[in-house]
Chain A
Amino acid sequence: MSHDHPHEHGHDHDHGHHRPDPLTPAEARAKAIESLLVEKGLLSTDAIDAQVAAYEADIGPMKGAKVVARAWLDPDFKARLLADATHVIEEVGLAPSTNQLVAVENTPAVHNLVVCTLCSCYPWAVLGLPPTWYKSFAYRSRAVIEPRAVLQEFGTALDESTEVRVWDSSAEVRYLVVPERPAGTEGLTEDELAALVTRDSMIGVAKVKAPALAAR
């Protein structure tokens, strides 16, 4: 991931050529705790490196997109997914979820939205790690009390008659929204459909756009 802040320290690969930036207190403490834990033989440097590499290699929401595309094409798969998603995701080649997983389906009558008001619970097994906005105080506080206003900010307007279901992930159960399949996608392959499915649509803050719109 090339997601680093522009002021990220350059000294990691550039020892001694310039004065390094000071560390933030949290960064110094994280280095201290890492050092102490590996020195005591409780963790190992290679285990930490492997974990970091796993985050960097994570295909993120592409995993959930495969699940959604399969659900759009295969009614039996969708029925199993909606009944108990935890193990069904392995059918599209995903790693087993370490959390119980529940899939909820958007329809013209029902729109689902996922949040964690208490912390930042997120369906890693299908969406990867969450974006910062999902963990923000604004999203956490508002998604339960004014979901339609939040959806409006994401450009998602719902009919008044649509029922909004907000899933506040207060335990170790994780939620995946199966968005509505847009019109104009008849005849597309599973891979082509998966390419249309966005992370936001699987959190429930957006709808999946038809191909012509998605290309814009």
Chain B
Amino acid sequence: MNGVHDMGGMHGFGPVERDELTFHHEWEKRQHALSALTRTAGLRNIDEGRHAIERMPPAAYLRATYYERWAAALETNMVENGVLTQAEIDARAAQFAADPSAAPTQRPNPQITARLRADRSNLLPVADGPAPRFAPGDRVRAKNVNPEGHTRLPRYARGKRATIERVHGSHVLPDAHAHGRGPVPEPLYSVRFDAAELWGPQADGRGSVYLDLWESYLEEDT
């Protein structure tokens, strides 16, 4: 989707403020753990998580802190995947707001913990994917498309010419996986875009941008 998250090349955000911290509040560590473990437990996948963040209203996305965006995405995924209902989340959140010192329910469970130790996240290449159509050195063009759903083809690269740098093997296609389809393995490539091709006269000197793009994002450059 053409969301506010797709920030590459935007102007106006100012200098990079050197905030070196990873976490600013204790709850953010637990949020991080919840976000990771709900994936390990198979309650959602990483692409659904990213797509939930992208669908935040743009003004809310920009206003939120990093872990507030993660929290919003987890809630969206839990409700959409039928794990929790909006009503039960709202009711329980109201109780915690009314009693800020109350701790979350403590329920240790060694069996569940052991099961969650086996990481089932599927982030490595898939062994039995289809044969790649492109080879290093091939001239390609990123398709000029504007899908309304989840995609990992940034706007700044669409319609631009590029060269295949390296074949990464097959990876799960996020565009399907974020929408309950898949996993669909598809060849993934490191693709080199010349800075001048992407940014024209505003290119910042000699250089290039490398993107990791799935085969269906690309067409032959004829």
Contact = CB atoms under 8 A, between A and B. Distances in A.
A43 interface: yes
B6 A118 contact: yes
A43 B97 contact: no
Contact of A132 (B21, B153, B198): B21
Given A47-B116, A131-B21, A133-B19, A171 B96 contact: no
Nearest to B88: A36
**Which of B25, B67, B104 has its CB near the most chain A CB atoms (within 10 A)?**
B104
B56 interface: no
A169 B64 CA distance: 22
A44 B211 contact: no
Contacts of A189: none
Nearest to A119: B50
A16 B39 CA distance: 36
B78 interface: yes
Nearest to B67: A26
**Which of A46, A86, A131, A162 has its CB near the most chain B CB atoms (within 10 A)?**
A46
Contact of B109 (A28, A44, A131): A44
Interface in B192-214: 195, 198-199, 202, 204-214
Number of chain B interface residues as a range: 35 or more
Contact of A31 (B104, B117, B166): B104
Contact of B10 (A141, A153, A162): A141
Contact of A173 (B105, B168, B174): B168
Contacts of A216: none
**Which of B34, B93, B195 has its CB near the most chain A CB atoms (within 10 A)?**
B93
Number of chain A interface residues as a range: 35 or more
A28 B93 contact: yes
Q: Which 10 A-B pairs have the closest CB atoms?
A: A117-B8, A164-B207, A51-B33, A32-B92, A171-B212, A44-B109, A132-B19, A35-B105, A138-B13, A141-B10
25 contacts: A3-B23, A5-B24, A16-B101, A28-B94, A31-B27, A31-B93, A31-B104, A33-B78, A34-B30, A35-B104, A36-B89, A38-B107, A39-B107, A41-B112, A44-B110, A44-B112, A119-B5, A129-B32, A132-B66, A136-B16, A136-B19, A145-B198, A168-B8, A171-B171, A172-B124
Interface of B: 5-27, 29-34, 36-38, 41, 43, 46, 50, 53, 62, 64-68, 71-72, 74-75, 78, 83-84, 88-89, 92-97, 100-110, 112-113, 116-117, 119, 121, 123-125, 152-154, 156, 166, 168-169, 171-172, 174, 188, 190, 195, 198-199, 202, 204-214
Given A30-B27, A51-B33, A172-B124, 12 more contacts: A1-B23, A3-B24, A4-B24, A12-B26, A32-B93, A35-B105, A43-B41, A118-B50, A131-B21, A146-B204, A164-B207, A171-B152
